[in-house]
């Protein structure tokens, strides 16, 4: 009998505080407004549940779109993302433009988003998804093969950040743009600027190999393509995205073979 009493005593000690705690939590939750509940659910990553409480929670809408966009289901992703942009354009135009550039290759619409964002934030340099806005706009023009405009944007990106802090691929893109415009001396200079930042930039070595081959300097081309092959492990790479200036070992080997 004594053991049974002690058993019930333990049950009371454990479960009554637990019941009180749960009850307090239920009362606290029921006292919150729908918007606050939605914001709290966003913080723990339950975005669909958050939208059930507030369908105009722009943060929930944007975050819900991310998984779909990563999976390439842009039709579904943009159902959420477009609504987020409508509700909070200053916050989410940059992300939508970034998706349109990096994943969809829709350069016109990406530029439209970046330009609209820029107009909403005067005297401020935006960084959509952590990248300088002028670098991204430069990539858009590069994708459109408008190399003259691309050069202007890439140069402005360097001005925004300073040469030592600019993305090293800015100099690679400048080299590629000048190469396409047949400004060979400027192209070489830009690739060398990239290599001044790091001697592991295989894209710059590959660019130099192509310039020197066009100039008829075959031995220099051979030297630089060897360096490109040796540094390919440091290439610009992303598991989710293929960059506009991304290079592959197969390209380097084919170029090298063509020199023999």
**Interval 167-212: pLDDT, tens:** 999 999 999 999 999 999 999 999 999 999 999 999 999 999 999 9
pLDDT at 161: 93
**Interval 4-29: pLDDT, tens:** 555 555 555 555 555 555 555 555 44
Nearest-angstrom CA–CA distance, 200 and 202:
6
Q: Between residues 26 and 81, which one has the greater pLDDT?
A: 81
pLDDT band at 144 (very low <50, low <70, confident <90, very high): very high
Range of the domain at 233: 183-260
Residue 43 falls within a domain, yes or no?
yes
Looking at 71, 87, 103, the residue that finishes a domain is: 87
Number of domains the chain contains = 2
Q: What is the pTM of this model?
A: 0.86
CA angle 196/98/85 to nearest 5° reads 145
Write the CATH number for 226: 1.25.40.10
Least confident segment among 7-11, 124-128, 204-208, 238-242: 7-11
Q: Is it the case that residue 55 has pLDDT exceeding 60?
A: yes
| Chain mean position to CA 157 | 16
Nearest-angstrom CA–CA distance, 83 and 62:
8
Nearest-angstrom CA–CA distance, 54 and 33:
10
């Amino acid at each position: 009998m004594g053991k049974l009493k002690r058993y019930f005593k333990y049950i009371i000690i454990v479960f009554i505080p637990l019941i009180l705690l749960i009850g307090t939590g239920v009362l606290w939750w029921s006292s919150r407004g729908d918007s606050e509940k939605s914001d709290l659910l966003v913080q723990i990553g339950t975005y669909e549940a958050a939208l059930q409480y507030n369908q105009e929670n722009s943060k929930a809408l944007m975050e819900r779109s991310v998984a779909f966009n990563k999976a390439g289901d842009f039709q579904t992703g943009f159902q959420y993302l477009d609504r987020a942009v409508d509700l909070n354009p200053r916050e989410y135009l940059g992300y939508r433009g970034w998706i349109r550039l990096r994943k969809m290759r829709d350069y016109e619409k990406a530029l439209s988003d970046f330009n609209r964002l820029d107009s909403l934030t005067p005297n401020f340099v935006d960084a959509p998804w952590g990248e300088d806005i002028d670098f991204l706009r430069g990539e858009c023009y590069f994708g459109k093969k408008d190399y003259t405009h691309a050069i202007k944007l890439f140069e402005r990106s360097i001005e925004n950040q300073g040469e030592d802090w600019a993305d090293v691929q800015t100099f690679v893109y400048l080299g590629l743009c000048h190469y396409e415009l047949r400004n060979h001396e400027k192209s070489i200079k830009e690739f060398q600027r990239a290599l001044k930042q790091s001697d592991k930039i295989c894209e710059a070595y590959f660019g130099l190999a192509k310039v020197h081959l066009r100039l008829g300097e075959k031995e220099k081309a051979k030297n630089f393509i060897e360096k490109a092959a040796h540094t390919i492990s440091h290439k610009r790479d992303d598991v989710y995205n293929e960059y506009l200036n991304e290079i592959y070992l197969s390209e380097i080997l084919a170029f090298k073979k063509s020199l023999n």
